Amino acid sequence: MTTNTSMSTGARLGLRHLLNPLHVTRHLWSHRGLIRQMVRREVSQRYRGSYLGVLWTLLTPLLMLLIYTFVFSIIFKARWRADAETPPGEFALTLFAGLAAFNVFSEVVSRAPTLILGVPNYVKRVVFPLEILPVVALGSALVNSLITVGLVLVGNLIVLGQLSSTVLWLPLAYLPLIFLCLGLGWFLASLGVYVRDIGQGIGIAVQMLFFLSPVFYPVTAVPEPLRIVLYFNPLTTILSEFRQTLLWGEPLGWRTWAAWSLLTAVLALLGYGWFMKTKKGFADVM
């Protein structure tokens, strides 16, 4: 009886330890060198063998921005805010600012179910910290996002002739997005080992979220009775805050930002705890 009680207490302490944000932060920080090295390798390998190499990380979003500007501003003459006179190119910049955030979510969540399955050799190495793989995927996605943000800022300077000081709040706008991606990344990376079909379902879910999030349209375009459904999607607030800080010179909505930051931080801790508790069985399943 005493032994069982001790084991139960140890299990509770172990879970409490895993869900301690200071422990999680210290653990990931201790592997910062390996994370940095793997992010750098992943970014460079993406274009290895091509003549322009890493330069494609800049050229690809630049070409897409030019295409969006031509299609939406010149052909469709689309406006994000119908009640305001908008110069050509503003709609494309607004769209691109949203994509800078959504593409991070899309890349991390889409890759997460196969992160562990793709590295069976790492699973067999007891000393390798598998929990850093979702962090590496997030780091790689953030590199591309920051390049997109840089292009949006340059475009904003050219099109609107201004660069708002609220861009300084952008790191805070990234915070709930980072927590959201980490939480889902850890959870799906573990689940993908045990349920191989999860990858197919996640691909469909991400496509659905692309159209159910205000990427191509403003929230005001949605009928008012349905907007409440849209606001249950954390990406709605995240995309809006990216546009506020990057383009519109508006501060963050602090209450909404704080609420989603707290909720996504809890999700990240739960995802980490789930991953660490289930990773002991990865080698047996694979």
pLDDT of amino acid 10: 36
Contacts 24+ apart (CB under 8 A), 278-284: 278/190, 278/193, 278/194, 279/130, 279/131, 279/190, 281/193, 281/194, 282/116, 282/123, 282/130, 282/190, 282/193, 283/123, 283/124
DSSP H or E segment with residue 168: none
Residue spans of the chain under pLDDT 70: 1-15, 47-54, 76-77, 81-88, 126
Please check whether residue 137 is in contact with residue 107, taking contact to mean a CB–CB distance below 8 angstroms. Answer: yes
Q: What pLDDT, on a 0 to 100 scale, did the predictor assign at position 238?
A: 96
The CA-based angle 29-31-35, given to 5 degrees, is: 105
Cα gap 232→153, rounded to integer Å: 29
Q: What pLDDT is attached to residue 50?
A: 59
DSSP symbol at 71: I
- Give residue 126's pLDDT: 67
How confident is the model at residue 58, as a pLDDT? Answer: 75
pLDDT tens, position by position, 142-168: 999 999 999 889 888 887 777 888 999
E strand segments, 54-172: none
Q: List the Cα angle 265/269/275 in 5-degree steps.
A: 140
pLDDT at 6: 35
Contact status, residue 133 vs residue 123, Cβ threshold 8 Å: no
Q: What is the pLDDT of residue 156?
A: 87
Residue 3: both structure tokens together? 């032994």
What distance in Å separates the CA atoms of residue 128 and residue 27, rounded to the nearest whole number?
A: 13
Model confidence pLDDT, tens digit, residues 70-89: 777 777 667 776 655 666 67
DSSP codes of every residue in 191-215: HHHH-TTHHHHHHHHHHHHHHHSTT
